[in-house]
A and B are shown apart, each in its own frame.
Chain A
Amino acid sequence: MSESTYSISRSSNASRTAAIIGLLVLIALVAAPWWAGRADLRLLSEVFLYLSLACLWNLLAGYAGLVSVGQQAFVGFGGYMLFALAIFTGMSPLAAIPLAGILGALIAVPVALLIFRLRGAYFAIGTWVIAEVFRLSFAQVSALGGGSGTSLPIAVVKSMASSRSMREATTYWLALGMAVVVLASIYLLLRSRKGLALTAIRDSEVASQSFGIDIWRNKFFVYVGAAGLTAMTGALIFLQKLRISPDAAFSVNDWTAFVIFIVVIGGIGTLEGPIIGVIVFFLLRELLADLGTTYLLILGLVAIVVMLKAPKGIWGIIKDRTGLEVFPLSRRVVKTKTNQE
């Protein structure tokens, strides 16, 4: 009689190769201030920040089943917190950004308690209402520029680093760091037991409830966490822009429509999807941005066609055809030992 021992394995050849490539890419990106021009650094920062927003939206919609069309509430909130801390306390952005994230998570608590009373598509519109409430409220705060907005105090900007190129490098590294932090947090979350619970909830709420998984608490935790990280990202976005206004801070187009497009095209419910989506998005933007409204029309059309014909997005198609996984998330049973008697 022979006896085999089994173990659970996560990684595959593909993920190991990808990890090495990823590390090399990361090193190159960290070194970018030395080989890239100013405009390219700004573009890369934009890519990283959109990637962060997309990953977080994907976590909410693709894993926790919370479809939000109101994440701009936290983007703008984070931006305004940064500006408020800078204007009222002179705090350096390096400290203000994480603080903006924490404040974003805190405000997400009462928001969640309210809107979790809604389900499905009504929940989605509820998130939009919250964003509108934030926008209208901040427009009333004259100390922050009211309806026309305000700029980041120069002194605070200068406090970040000694020279202009150092400042630009710092904001770039912060953006890169944000993307890495978001990707890493989501990856670690999904690998953990909580992540397993989330995937179970995504696959079937009824079944996961019968296993004792507390749906409400899990969703609440994810919503608040995502809000905090989104707020941090928002703070970084407006640190780049140096100027904030209610319409820009809480813009549905910029912070929700584009983000949804990125996730849908790339592949909802996968970690690799937003990465592909953000690349496609920026390629399209380079090609089509001159067309103005036609560009948005095309984006909308592409999103609809993808949702109807290829709902799993580009990465979904690749994954279905090849079973490829770059981020090792699924568990496989592997035979490790065989004892012969």
Chain B
Amino acid sequence: MDWINAIVQGVLLGGLYALFAAGLSLIFGVMRLVNIAHGDFIVLAAFLGLSITTALGVSPLVALGLVVPLMAAIGYLLQRGVLNQTLGDDILPPLLVTFGLSVIIQNGLLEIYSADPQKMSAGALETASISVPGGIAIGVLPLLMFVVAVVVIAGLQWVFYHSALGRAFRAVSDKQDIAQLMGLNKAHVFGLAMALSLAVVGVAGVFLGIRTSFDPSIGPGRLIFGFEAVIIGGLGNLWGTLIGGIILGVSQNIGAQINPGWQLLAGHIAFLVVLAVRPRGLFPRID
């Protein structure tokens, strides 16, 4: 029974991991950039949510409405102000600049908020649960997060493949120069891509903050979970990323069932096994 419960919880956790991963995957697809500070932005969003809920006295889910546009704006400015300058054939500049950003965000948050663990409360929603046949209780909040993750991914898929913005993303990612001939300002398109990525990060961050306690140092851990979900699921496939997140969540929970200290290791091992056996992931779409 515990095992089934662990697996169910793992699946729901996978939704959160997929949210961590979605923004990362989007940016890589559009501009071949990997944002090493991605996890730290998730934590930044959590702290933003915290400040807003404290200042305005609202529920974190309401604060989402402010966090998401704020993060989107930060993403746009970041891309146009800093990251666009790093794009090119050399992989070092974007890597090192986003690594520097990671250090700055972590220490900036440390300065402002201190190292104390924080948590946002969603009130009654946190303890509410639905009983499912078989004696399993599914928390309403984890279920909600999973549903939101699915909705977000479906939304991103729609944007990418059925909207003018998505067309622009694909065109610019295919051939930057020729896309410019179509009147697309690639600096602006990249900015919009990063804005969208950090908007998703905003959702992920607030959910993280509700679900567990967080502090400025946990960013890299979230980056790694997102990265593992992307690699397990397969590059360039957002639904694959959801599956990757689920596999990761389930592995972690199974590991925790065997031995609480093995939770994280179990996830990493699942990742390494997939890497060894299927280097391109389970459902790859691009190279």
Binding site for B on A (CB under 8 A): 61, 65, 67, 69, 114-115, 117-118, 120-122, 124-126, 128-129, 132-133, 136-137, 139-140, 252-253, 257, 260, 264, 268, 293-294, 296-297, 299-301, 303-304, 307-308, 311
From A61, A121, A297, B111 is in contact (CB under 8 Å) with A297
Q: Give the docked Cα–Cα distance between A132 and B99 (Å).
A: 17
Interface residues on B, range: 35 or more
Provide the residues of chain B in CB contact with A253, threshold 8 Å: 103
Q: How far is the CA of A139 from the CA of B102 in the complex (A)?
A: 25
A297-B265 contact given A121-B95, A122-B227, CB 8 Å threshold: no
Q: Is the CB of A257 within 8 A of B82?
A: no
From the candidates B93, B101, B268, name the one contacting A136 in the complex (CB within 8 A): B268
A68 to chain B, nearest CB (A): 10
B100 within 8 A of A: yes
Contact: A121 with B110, CB < 8 Å? no
Q: How far is the CA of A307 from the CA of B36 in the complex (A)?
A: 15
> Is B86 an interface position by the 8 A CB rule?
yes
List chain B residues, Cβ under 8 A from A304. 82, 96-97, 100-101, 104
Where chain B touches its partner, the secondary structure class is helix
Q: Which 4 A-B pairs have the closest CB atoms?
A: A121-B34, A300-B103, A117-B279, A304-B100
A133 to chain B, nearest CB (A): 5
Stretch touching chain A among B2-10, B194-202, B269-277: B269-277
A133 touches B223 (CB 8 A): no
Contacts of A117 in B (CB 8 A): 275-276, 279
Residue B264, interface by CB 8 Å:
yes
**Complex contacts, A65 vs chain B, CB 8 Å:** 91
Contact pattern, B 215-241, Cβ under 8 Å of A = 1, otherwise 0:
000001101100110010000000000
Given contacts A61-B92, A69-B36, A308-B86, A129 and B107 within 8 Å (CB-CB): no
A299 to B264, CA, bound (A): 30
A303 and B37 CA atoms in complex are apart in Å by 14
Tell me whether B85 is interfacial, beta carbon within 8 Å.
Answer: yes
Query: When each residue 66-104 of chain B gets 1 if its CB lies under 8 Å from chain A and 0 otherwise, what string results?
Result: 000000000000000010011000011111110111111
B261 adjacent to chain A (CB < 8 Å)? yes
The CB with the most chain A CB atoms within 10 A, among B100, B261, B276, is that of B100
User: Is B108 positioned at the interface, with any CB of A under 8 Å from its CB?
Assistant: yes
Nearest-neighbour CB distance to chain A for B153, whole angstroms, equals: 20
- CB of A260, distance to nearest CB on chain B (Å): 7
Residue among B33, B82, B92, B228 making CB contact with A268, cutoff 8 Å: B92
* A125–B276 touching, CB < 8 Å: no
Whether B103 lies near A257 (C-beta < 8 A) is: yes
Bits for B55-66, please: 1 = Cβ < 8 Å to A, else 0.
000000000000
